[in-house]
Amino acid sequence: MNIEDLQLIVDTIYQHNPSAYKRGGDVELLNFHIKAMQHLKEVNKIHYKEYNLTDLEALSIVILEGFGSSRFIQEPLYNRRKLNALTEVLIQNLDSALRKTPKNTHPVLYANDGFMRGNNMIGDIFTVNGFFTTSIDDFDNAHSIKWIIEPLSEGQTKAHEIYKIYNHGEDCPYPEYQVEFERGTKFEITDIKKGKEYDVVHIKELPS
């Protein structure tokens, strides 16, 4: 399957939903990311051929790092009513894209509000159903939770350095250097520091 094949899926899913084609609709959002990827290719800002990713796998990463992650990828993994043929294709291609992307080599990763979980306690073990987006840098912009993550070693971790494919914000003063955990990764809470504005929760990746 390639990006052009997505059009057939889109036409089938949204044939009775004209609002999807309007501003802010699913079709417009998808086309925005397709055009964004084409631009990234033209200016040599996306490096997926080096890792044998397909165009569709690369598009799934662009969507993940862009404005479509929640609607097309994360929400359907937590709410099956949001799952359809389009989101299934994008999720499956992100799965395969991560498997081809170099595994994380950094000892500590950070996420600010990237994954929300309440009633955290030291010793809790939990699984993230969706993909878990982190960074090698701490941007210190949390509102509720700052996660400090100890990943497994390069041979065992489910974290992948997607910034080597596409580094979102590369032309900005602070590129994001995103590292993405595969969906279904398991963690244990090792420490919690309560703060006035947000909690700092230390977690370590577990074999899974």
pLDDT tens, residue by residue, 15-24: 999 999 999 9
Residue type, 154: E
Residues of the chain with CATH 3.90.176.10: 109-206
Distance, in Å, from the CA atom of 163 to the CA atom of 175, rounded to the nearest integer, reads 9
Is 185's pLDDT higher than 70?
Answer: yes
pLDDT of residue 173: 63
Q: How far is CA 170 from the centre of its chain?
A: 17
**Which CATH superfamily is 109-206 part of?**
Toxin ADP-ribosyltransferase; Chain A, domain 1 (3.90.176.10)
pLDDT score of 208: 85
pLDDT value of residue 114: 64
Which pair of tokens denotes residue 72?
């097309």
Please give the pLDDT value at position 175: 76
Residue written as token pair 């600010």: 112
Sign of the dihedral through C-alpha 58, 61, 65, 69:
positive
pLDDT band at 115 (very low <50, low <70, confident <90, very high): low
- The secondary structure of the chain, three-state, reads CCHHHHHHHHHHHCCCCHHHHCCCCHHHHHHHHHHHHHHHHHCCCCCCHHHCCCHHHHHHHHHHHCCCHHHHHHHHHHCHHHCCHHHHHHHHHHHHHHHHCCECCCCCEEEECCCCCCCCCCCCEEEECCCEEEECCCCCCCCCEEEEEECCCCCCCCEECHHHCCCCCCCCCCCCCEEEECCCEEEEEEEEECCCCCEEEEEEEECC
Do the Cβ atoms of 101 and 164 come closer than 8 Å? yes
Q: Is the pLDDT of residue 139 over 90?
A: no
**Nearest-5° Cα angle at 163, 161 to 169:** 150
The whole-chain average pLDDT of the chain stands at 93
Q: Is the pLDDT of residue 172 over 70?
A: no
How high is the pLDDT of residue 82?
Answer: 92
Averaged over 96-120, what is the pLDDT? 91
Q: Report how far residue 33's alpha carbon sits from residue 61's, in angstroms, rounded to the nearest whole number.
A: 10
| Integer angstrom CA distances of residue 93 from 127, 151, 207 | 21, 23, 23
**8 Å CB contact between 208 and 158:** yes
- For residue 136, the tally of other CB atoms under 10 A from its CB is 18
pTM above 0.85, yes or no: yes
Q: Of the ranges 3-12, 22-31, 172-181, which one carries the lowest mean pLDDT score?
A: 172-181
Bridge-based pairing state of the strands 145-150 and 199-206: parallel
